[in-house]
Amino acid sequence: MNQQSVPSALSTADWRRRVFALYGDVREATDRAEAHAIWRAGRDELLASHDASPVPVEEREVFRGVQIGDYQPELRFEVAIDTDVEPVRWEVPSATDGVIPFTRIGALHLPAVGDLDVWWLESYGGGVFVPLKDALAGARTYGGGRYLLDTVKGADLGGDFREGWLVVDLNFAYNPSCAYSPLWTCPLAPAGNTVTAALPVGELTVNSTHDPEVQSA
């Protein structure tokens, strides 16, 4: 992320607190469609008005939310993490944080969708990270892919890590910050997180002229 656009430390801390709270509300909701509506409203509010929003300041006044696909309940999975994988290392260069290191710790096998690698952030704090790039990337979904889970930043839909399973709901796929401005640097979905299924759910394409570079693992 370009230093000129870096929000203050306190703004970033507040953004993360709100994201953690938002996903807490999502996990507590008993109705899945209601949970999705809560998430959508919360995301739009943060993007439109928060100081740490990746939406450029000059565009926030006219920002009316991200296009969202209709909720498809069959794209929600409670899935075991297959840990019988080679611990591949993935290093993502960034403009301000140096190299961001990840290690593959597992894979998710999603029926009718495909397999997705599960990554562990090796930087301070750590966290589980699952990006996604589908067949609609560059057309109806962001060309660099989207994020499903990013627990270090609060994007956690549930499950039980001790028992080795996760809630993976593709309806909650969201655009990375770099989808809104080229001033942001984001880890983009590598080959192991690319599927051939078309997934017109979650956050769809935003108006962005940024052409992301695919980062391999």
Q: pLDDT tens, 110-129?
A: 999 999 999 999 988 899 99
Closest by Cα among 173, 124, 125 to 148? 173
Give 164-214 pLDDT, tens digit per residue: 999 999 999 999 998 998 888 889 999 999 999 999 999 998 654 444 444
**Across the strands, what pairs with 129?**
119, 150
How far is residue 40's CA from residue 9's CA, in Å, rounded to a whole number? 25
**Across the strands, what pairs with 147?**
131, 174
Position 183 scores a pLDDT of: 81
Q: pTM, whole model, 2 decimals?
A: 0.90
